[in-house]
Amino acid sequence: MNYRDQRNYENLTKRIYPGVGAYDIPQLEPVQFDRKACEFIPFSAAARCKDRASKGVHFFIDDYRFTRLWSAPDNYMPMLQEFKYVMTPDFSMYTDYPKVMQIYNHYRKHWIGAYLQEYGVQVIPTICWSDESSYEWCFDGEPEHSVVAVSSVGTQLNRKSKELFVKGYNAMVERLHPETIIFYGNVPAECMGNIVRIRAFQEKFNEAKCNGW
């Protein structure tokens, strides 16, 4: 094996998936969601989880806690195959990020999702956007009429950020027609659809403190 074959090259030596849209985003297949007793845990807690078959994995945590999945995906495939569902990584797409970084993070999310699906994992697409200009590409590769996941954490701090979130959410519903929307965090009154809410860690932490934890 020569030096070139040993390098990662953004995982392109592993797979180059047929892409859609202007930026060749890997296409994900739709998934149907069974609402029966599926608790979602963060990727950072997945290795310690014992009852994996009844749980799902989410990535609504700081990016540094899961970038290792992008750097070495094969190290985590056997573990993630044991979970009922795995969401696609929620790589950040802040509005003040350069557009090229936003698109790169969207691509990475989809490459990981396609790789997981290739390994037989039930993948739930995490839908992310920044501002209205991102609608040109941020839904590329997402399946229609599928279960999807979104997070409102950090988006309700002021009027502008809430407005951006609600506009993007409505654009997502109009574009993808999701069958079920898994919602991490508080659900704004303006957000409609077949919503399944999962509580953010801070809510569980505050509840535990109130109960004397």
Strand boundaries in the chain, DSSP class E: 19-20, 25-26, 39-42, 55-58, 85-87, 123-124, 147-151, 180-184, 195-198
pLDDT for the residue 208 = 34
Residues of the chain with pLDDT under 50: 1, 3, 202-213
What amino acid occupies position 8? N
DSSP annotation of 194 reads S
Q: How many CB atoms lie within 10 A of CB 93?
A: 21
pLDDT for the residue 46 = 97
In sequence order, the 6+-apart residues with CB closer than 8 A to the CB of 198 are 40, 58, 182, 183, 184
What amino acid occupies position 68? R
pTM attached to this predicted model: 0.90
Residue 153: φ, ψ to 5°: -60, 125
Tell me which residue of 59, 58, 69, 55 sits closest to 8, measured CA to CA.
69
- Beta strand 39-42 with 25-26 is unpaired
pLDDT for the residue 8 = 65
pLDDT for the residue 157 = 81
- 153-158, long-range: CB < 8 A, 24+ apart: 153/60, 153/184, 153/185, 153/200, 156/185, 156/186, 156/188
- Beta strand 180-184 with 195-198 is parallel
**In whole angstroms, how large is the CA radius of gyration of the chain?**
17
pLDDT for the residue 169 = 97
Q: How many CB atoms lie within 10 A of CB 193?
A: 18
